[in-house]
Structure 1
């Protein structure tokens, strides 16, 4: 096991215990090295092991099984089809371009792995180039092994690149030995301690590491797990999932030691009672704990050495919140069910698809005579229907829905704004509302004042409701600028990710923040929180415009616009029409 690279070792472990480990996530671009790993895994498994590839756009009927409409129409009776999960039972399900898997498909695969009825394993091919392009956390958590293919050996010759290599052990014997390996409490405790030191809160990771250690021992021909097996499992299971750097031993030694509870030393001059000859010395209870601690420290050191460099740098710096894969990928865009009709195309009848009956009949009618002759040659008898259909005849209706823009107005209704430009801001918003109504775009209104922000008007096309909410907007109080930016970020992100539209954020403020995010007063802390929220808004990729409504252009407003990558528009002497003209240009982009 030590002579092979980590990805090959992970492949061997998966071949020994595919159901217990759940699967393997191969991170890296496509190439001969990855093809060689897949070929090695396929050669390692028995010849009759199912091997299926899962397309990203698979529907529920093909994945879980259901009624085969084409065969049912041709046979005149219901014909069921087995899903990919049933076909891959006891085998391998390969998931290409795993970084693009949507949350729904990942949840179905995770549920199937959790139930364990099919007893298959998943090999996810993750080709993501950034932290935002990753396998969803719900599925990645159930794949024990994570590895990256090693660089191909060009000295071996180009004709051998992409070919698998044979196993250096007997697979049948290793699987039989795996079932006889006993449970080792000390090793499991060390794995749990290592996972805790790496910031892993779930107990699934140390249990998967234990299963990998058992598989490593079975491959090596051992009847129990050794420290080398545990370290290999920690490198392949725990290290790629690290969320924190382990504390160094110097920090542990600098901590004050607790007072010793050992009994006081005896005076050698005083007579001591003689011990009975038949009594054995009592065992030292701290010996086992010290040994387990030493094993855990060695395991942590081995795991820390296996953490990828990029992950190590991110852990040493500022850690990102949220699970893996929670970036800007969002939900997959669904086909439009209404709008401008487009030319129909061949496709499968999914749950949300609409059949184009005329196009389907046009595709099927020219083949009727040949299909009747084919039925006679097969001895199927008379046709059950006058029109014989097959799967390739189905045509699905398609529509184009125009991109919908939602303009989110974020209005500063604090005391300083009320003294300066609140009336002009209301007038500009009313002009923009009328323009959005003409284009059939939606509008939303967020106001921040006092100690927080409030969504006064959810996204709507109703001009009456928008004007009513705007006219009742009060003014006065502090300026919780960070709360307003965060509320706009949450609303804009939900509009773009869930509904697939486009959001434009329009901020009308003088940028005189004096209320921090936690509600405490103070201009310094309030401005720092506002800049942090602005950078988060910029990372989300939301289009925004900042209208500086102060009497003079403020450097704080310029810095805020730069932090959120917004268009900065200073209007010290402007009227409502000027504000409307500046924002209308940004909305039309």
Structure 2
């Protein structure tokens, strides 16, 4: 198999074991190289292999199967139609523009791949250019292989392979050999260790890597997995999913190791030293450790530049793609269409006629017999009714409209460092306001100092108004942290419950509370009131981030962030751009 192109290697592995690997995620813009890879995959597979293209706006009837409305009306009886998943049984389901797939469609595909009801694989074409435009994590986890199309100068060679050149291996022979490859404990253990070193916690990834290694061995004509097969699997399966660098993990472990004591300890005697020495590893353990180190090096070399930097943020609770698309508080009458549901025709609701007819057609014969038994006259004076509808058949159209997001800055304006924090908040607000013109989002500002909190800037998109409010913000005094959290809780709850939007709370504080909720001084009571307010905020389900502005990360700030289920970001020397980047990951 070719060694220069990961994309070509990935499609060769997928052709040998499509159901075992689940599929392939091809990342990169559309072009001749990607088209040549897809054409090569079609040529590698048998000619009778199904190949179906899945549109993003597919409905449940077309995806999962259901009633064929036209044939049912013509035949006078229910006529079922097969869905795309059934049509792709034993073949390939092509998913273009995969970065735009919504969570519902991704969940249906992931469930079908997990259950194995339809034996197919998914080829997802991901053209996303940023961290926000990615294939949903639930579906990506079930696609073993992740690769990018070849460079443009290699597209011609791939096109020639797909058109006239001989295939690089015998597919039927490779699949027969794949079923005979034995399980290797040492290789699987090394793959698990490699996944752990790259920060992967799921056991699905090392198992997918083992399946890829077996496919690579089958293509090469080997009856067992070798080191080269395991390294190839690590590059194609584990490296693109890496969330940590092995060196960084080793440095973290060394940093956590206890420092040597300054006072010399008594040396043990010779027999005690001999008993305390660790046992020598066996030859098999040494080989397994060496194999794991080589696979880690191979996977690290295949990690794309900048990948770990884009994964530095913690994903939000909504998962990939959830972002700013919160569910509407009240039914929307326009926007992106959703699957219709049964309901009553109330004021403002819109009837989905096709879905209503699909629900009524299967029951027409029984309803006709029922009317004849009851001796009812024909509908509208005709000899027979065309279609008998009942209230339970009504399906109502549904829409989803992107909700407005309001970022609420809750700034600690107390103490001698207030001016620095306010400058950071001002710069972050101005950076966010620049994006509001595009996203139609809003920002708000709450400051707490002295004995209470005050909403200085109600939700707005006006950059001039934000600058004016920030410029006149005073600083100094005590730290009523509980009052600030409660004010943010009230404003965020109002935005989400009454206006139907989404609120993101951003706290800039060192968490050194010294003013209780009743206005009395005392650090103990003030911190207890702050933790109680944080728990109420967590129960409300508001998205939040706590930026610790103290010179060193404080345990009190970490405890407060945990109490409110907020993302904790230590910024001892916060800059406006850093604050903006931290907020953007949550918002």
* Shared fold (TM-score, shorter chain, > 0.5): yes
C-alpha distance in 2, partners of 1:334/1:107? 20
Q: 1:214·1:229 contact (CA, 8 Å) conserved in 2?
A: yes
- Identify the residue that residue 74 of structure 1 maps to in structure 2: 74
State the partner residue of 2:61: 61
Change (3 A) 1:60 1:214: same
For 2:74 and 2:223, locate their aligned partners in 1 and report how far apart those are by CA, in whole Å: 57
Q: 1:450 aligns with which of 479, 482, 505?
A: 482
Which one of 297, 314, 321 corresponds to residue 314 of structure 2? Answer: 321
* Conservation of the 8 A alpha-carbon contact between 2:190 and 2:289: yes
Deviation at residue 311 of structure 1 after TM alignment = 1.7
Q: What are the equivalent positions in structure 2 for 1:223-242 lying under 5 Å apart?
A: 223-242=223-242
SS at match of 1:109: helix
Q: Within 5 Å, which residues of 2 pair with 1:459-478?
A: 459=494, 460-461=497-498
Report the Cα distance in structure 2 between the residues aligned to 1:195 and 1:231, rounded to whole angstroms: 12
What does the per-residue CA deviation read over 1:194-248, in whole Å, with 9 as the maximum and x for residues that have no partner?
1111111111111111101110111011111111111111110111111111138
Structure 1 position 538, deviation (Å): 4.1
The structure with the largest alpha-carbon Rg is 1
- How far off is 1:262 after superposition? 11
Task: Tell me the TM-score normalised to structure 1 length.
Answer: 0.60
1:135 CA drift (Å): 0.8
Q: Distance in 2 between matches of 1:141 and 1:165?
A: 34
Aligned to 1:122, what secondary structure does the other structure show? strand
State whether residues 67 and 81 of structure 1, in contact with CA within 8 Å, keep that contact through their aligned partners in structure 2: yes
Aligned to 1:221: 221
Residues 65 and 80, structure 2, Cα contact 8 Å, conserved in 1: yes
How far does residue 137 in structure 1 lie from its aligned partner after superposition? 0.9
Q: Give 1:535's aligned residue.
A: 580
Change (3 A) 1:61 1:527: same
Determine whether 1:204 maps to 2:204. Answer: yes
What residue in structure 2 maps to residue 126 of structure 1? 126
Cα deviations by residue, 1:107-146 (Å, 9 ceiling, x for unpaired): 1111111111211100000000011111111111110000
Helix, strand or coil for the counterpart of 1:210? Answer: helix
Q: Within 5 A, what are the aligned runs for 1:269-348?
A: 286-311=282-307, 314=309, 319-322=312-315, 326=320, 329-331=323-325, 339=333
Cα distance between partner residues in 2 of 1:186 and 1:304: 20
Partner SS for 1:304: helix
Residue pairs, 1:28-177, within 5 angstroms: 28-153=28-153, 156=156, 166-177=166-177
Deviates more, 1:186-195 or 1:26-35: 186-195
Structure 2: gaps spanning 5 or more residues:
260-267, 343-348, 358-382, 388-394, 419-446, 459-478, 500-516, 545-553, 561-569
Alpha-carbon distance change, 9 to 160 in structure 1, aligned in 2, over 3 angstroms: closer
Deviations 1:283-324 (A, max 9, x none): x96111111111111111111111111225x28xx8222389
Cα shift readout 1:481-520 (whole Å, capped 9, x = no counterpart): x99999999989869xxxxxxxxxxxxxxxxxx9962368
Query: 1:50, CA displacement in angstroms?
Result: 0.8
Q: Secondary structure at the match of 1:125?
A: strand
Helix, strand or coil: the match of 1:518?
A: helix
Shift of 1:30: 0.4
Secondary structure of the structure 2 residue equivalent to 1:453: helix
Question: Is the 2:195–2:238 contact (alpha carbons within 8 Å) kept by the matching residues of 1?
Answer: yes
Decide whether the 8 Å contact of 2:451 with 2:480 is kept in 1.
no
How much does 1:94 deviate? 0.6
Label 1:2 to 1:335 Cα distance change in 2 as closer, same or farther (>3 A).
farther
Contact 2:145–2:236 at 8 Å: present in 1 too?
A: yes
1:527 Cα shift?
7.5
Q: Secondary structure at the match of 1:113?
A: helix
How far the C-alpha of 1:81 sits from its partner, in A, is 1.4
Shift of 1:461: 4.5
Match of 2:364 in 1: none
What per-residue deviation string (whole Å, max 9, x for no partner) do you get for residues 510-547 of structure 1?
Answer: xxxx9962368xxxx897699899536641696xxxxx
CA distance in 2, matches of 1:10, 1:106: 22
CA contact (8 A) 1:63 1:85 kept: yes
Does the CA contact (< 8 Å) of 2:136 and 2:319 recur in 1?
Answer: yes
Task: Provide the aligned C-alpha RMSD in A.
Answer: 5.4
Distance, in Å, in 2 between the alignment partners of 1:402 and 1:240 is 31
State how far apart, in whole Å, the 2-side matches of 1:295 and 1:414 are. Answer: 56
Contact persistence 1:134–1:325 (CA under 8 A): no
Shift of 1:411: 9.5
Partner of 1:190: 190
Tell me, in whole angstroms, the C-alpha distance in 2 between the residues paired with 1:386 and 1:287.
81
Cα distance change on mapping 1:205 and 1:326 into 2, 3 Å: same
Aligned pair in 2 of structure 1 residues 79, 331: CA closer, same or farther (>3 Å)? farther
Mapped partners of 1:494, 1:263: distance in 2: 55
**Separation in 2, partners of 1:517, 1:451:** 16
Paired residue for 2:247?
A: 247
Question: 8 Å contact 1:40–1:166 — kept in the other structure?
Answer: no
